[in-house]
Each structure stands twice: as C-alpha cells, then as structure tokens.
Chains A and B, each alone.
Chain A
C-alpha cells in the first residue's frame, strides 16, 4: 500500500513539474542549473576532446588517410570553382557599374557561442550554448557552424543559455534545394539531374526490363539550372540516416556530392545556407518522390563553437 502511495505521489509531482516546465515557469531554475554546471561541463568537454582525438587517430588511421586524400582532391576542385566564381563576381560588378545598379546585401550579424553540453539521450539531437535571451537570442533563430553551414535552430532560450535543435533531430524540418555537383568541364555531366523525364510507354505485355521502343522525340533532359525551382525538397532529421532529403520530384537522377542548401521557402531560414551533400539516393518504384541521404556539411557531433545568425528574423518570430 505504501508503494502505491509513493507511485501516485511521484507520478503526480512529475506530471505537474512537466506541465510547469512546458509552460516555461521553471526556466529560471533550469537557467540557474546551467549557470552552475556550465563551467564544469565546458571544462570537461575541453579536457576530453584531445583524448578523443588521440583514440580516433589510432583507431581510424586508415580512414583518415583516405579522407585526407579525398579532401585534397575536393579542395583542388573547390579552389578552381572559387577562381571561376571570383571571375564571375568581377564581371557582375563591372556590369552593375555599367548599368548603374547595385544590389546591396546587408552584412550578416553573427554571435559566437560555445557549446557547453550535448543531449546524449539518443531520442533528440540537441546542444546547449552559453548565450541566451540576454545576448539577443530568441527561439527559432538560425545557428551556423564556424564554416557557415547550417547547424540548427534555437529551440529553447533561457536568460543566459539556450538549447539548439540540430538539423539531425527528428523534429527538424528544413525547406531545401539541390545544387548539382560540378562536372569537370563546367557543364552538367550525363549522369546529372534529370527532371521530368516522361516514362516511355511500354507496350502491353512487355517486361519492365525490355529495351524501350525508339520514340520520335528525345526525352526531355534538364539540368538543375534549367529547373532550379522544381528541385526543391525537405530535409528532415532522421535517427537512422542522420539527414534525409525527401519530397524531391520523381524520375530524378542525383549525382553523389550534389550540394543541398536552404531554399528560403517558408521564411524560417535564409536562402542558400549550405546543409550538406547528397550521399545516397533512394528511389522506390511505388514512391511518388525521390529521397536521398545527406551528409551534413559540418560535423555535428563534437561541435565546440557555433554562430547564431542575429540579423535574420525567422518567419515564426515575425508572426508572434
């Protein structure tokens, strides 16, 4: 009987505490607890990182060597692309001057924050940062890595601290667009994005694997540049894949390495923030959409510093 009373009391107190917490009435308590624990957890994280790096260096040596080789190649390709982009920017500047127009782009206002804790329950993907409402943060604000790629959004802000929901969290959804991987010649490769490819009608009784009959007109093949607006999808957090790009048009061929960035739709994220790159594409015969597994641009585990984008006001904040 005593155990029953204990159970009832603990359940009642817990449910009441959860209710108060959801109503934001216990925020000062959680802010205070983070204030007390932040120095210890921050110090422990800093102390553990070199040890972790050492063990990873030993156990993953082969992978690291291969990854280093791949990154060098990627770096070379990116430098080439950068040179082309700088040339294009110069030409744009010259044309703007010639036409007398100038589109100003306001400088992004970023606030650096240290990661002090990470939710390790496995059910969520969250990190705690040492900036809060007092520093100008608000819930819904966009959080970037040091390299400028998308990390997540501020999920819960206290006076001095905030919890950030990573893009890999199952609750995270980002409107995204796909940028095709650059081909060596600067033009889309044959395996690049094919959109709206009308399935060739199969004669009745023909097996699906049979060679299709020649058609009078070639199947329209479009690059992402031609159909930019239709290459939009939704990036969702997923416990199995980490990041999952869904709702892409059917009959779409995506090369591995295609870049995925925010589309700006919905107004909760600025346009063209890098999310990651396509790692594997999944096309099921019965599915009306193409899906793809995404490799995040920045390593989301072991983040030590992030940047909060203060100058962009998400739509969910302007609606309030």
Chain B
C-alpha cells in the first residue's frame, strides 16, 4: 500500500514538474519535486524501502518527460547510496541529511543524465551545464526541500517535534 501511495505521489509531482514548475524558475532552473521526494523518502523511510521505491519513482518521472525510459531510474540511483551514508550523522534530525542528499543527488542526477544524453547522441553543452544548470539545481532543490520533506516526515508517523531537529547534537562515533 505504501509503495502505491509513493508512486501516486511521485506521478502527481512529475505532472506538476512538467506543467506548473516552469513558472517557478529561480536562477535559471526549476525545482525537481520528484527528486526531492525520492531523497526525502530515502532518508526518512530508510534504505530498504528506498531500494524499491526510488527506481520506481525514476520510471514514473520518465513517463511524463522527453527522456528515454530508464534514464531517471539510473540518475536517481545514487540517492539511495547517499541516504545510506547519512546514517553516520552528527545531528539528531533527518532534515539536514535530507537537504544534503537533495543537493548532492541533484548533482549526480545531472551528471548521469548528461552522460546518458551524450551516449544517446544528443548534444550536451558540458562547458555551460556545470555553472548554469547543476549548481543552481543543487541550491534550488535544497531550497524547496521543506515543501516535500515535511509532508513525507509527517505521514511517516514520526514525531513532529524533531522534524527539523534542533534539539541536540549527537556524535556519529
């Protein structure tokens, strides 16, 4: 059931991405709600669920974009690894790790997408993409993380008081 809900939410966000988000252009890029959702789910719900849901979310995203099917699945894959790495963290919160996973995931997503596009014969402007697309995408997606993270956190049945997690610092060691 939870997987079905996640796929439906991902489908809705993917439709929002291609329809409404074009009007929300910041620093020349638009926020990728699907990527933020995948990262939030992976951090909040854990690696086991992320290993199932993140590839499905990628597949859903490709269905409504012009990308070849499978590209987003491949490009979102590092998010699962990044989410696993956030187990070693120094703060008692899932919010900060989620923001970090979103930022780093945006970077890896862009690099893998560009590689796939280049392999499939499309022109990729490697000189321009780093400064004009990848870095702004990291910032903008990180900025929009609370919009997606908070509902995911709330519906995961976790304590609302530590959603942002400003209570204490813990040592990863």
Contact = CB atoms under 8 A, between A and B. Distances in A.
Interface stretch (B37-45, B120-128, B145-153, B161-169): B120-128
A11 B74 contact: yes
**Which of A6, A14, A20, A118 counts the most B-chain CB atoms under 10 A from its CB?**
A14
A275 interface: no
B90 interface: no
A34 B64 contact: yes
Interface in A2-25: 3, 6-7, 10-11, 13-18, 20-22
B122 A128 contact: no
Contacts of B17: 120
B22 A120 contact: yes
Contacts of B16: 44
Contacts, number: 142
A120 B30 contact: yes
A18 B18 contact: no
A26 B69 contact: yes
**Which of B19, B116, B117 counts the most A-chain CB atoms under 10 A from its CB?**
B19
A48 B19 CA distance: 8
Interface residues of A, number: 51
Contacts of B117: 123-124
A14 B70 CA distance: 4
B30 A18 contact: no
B104 interface: no
Interface in A274-295: none
B171 interface: no
A240 to B, nearest CB: 5
B15 interface: yes
Contact of B20 (A7, A30, A45): A45
A120 B23 contact: no
Contact of B19 (A44, A163, A170): A44
Contacts of B81: 3
Given A34-B64, A120-B21, 6 more contacts: A44-B16, A119-B66, A120-B32, A122-B137, A123-B129, A240-B132
**Which of A18, A37, A49 counts the most B-chain CB atoms under 10 A from its CB?**
A18
A229 interface: no
Interface in B53-103: 55, 58-59, 63-71, 73-74, 77, 80-81, 84
A30 B19 CA distance: 17
A18 B19 contact: no
A148 to B, nearest CB: 23
Contact of B71 (A18, A41, A155): A18
B67 to A, nearest CB: 7
A155 B125 contact: no
9 contacts: A17-B59, A18-B68, A21-B68, A37-B64, A40-B15, A44-B19, A44-B20, A122-B29, A239-B128
Contact of A42 (B19, B23, B64, B125): B19
B157 interface: no
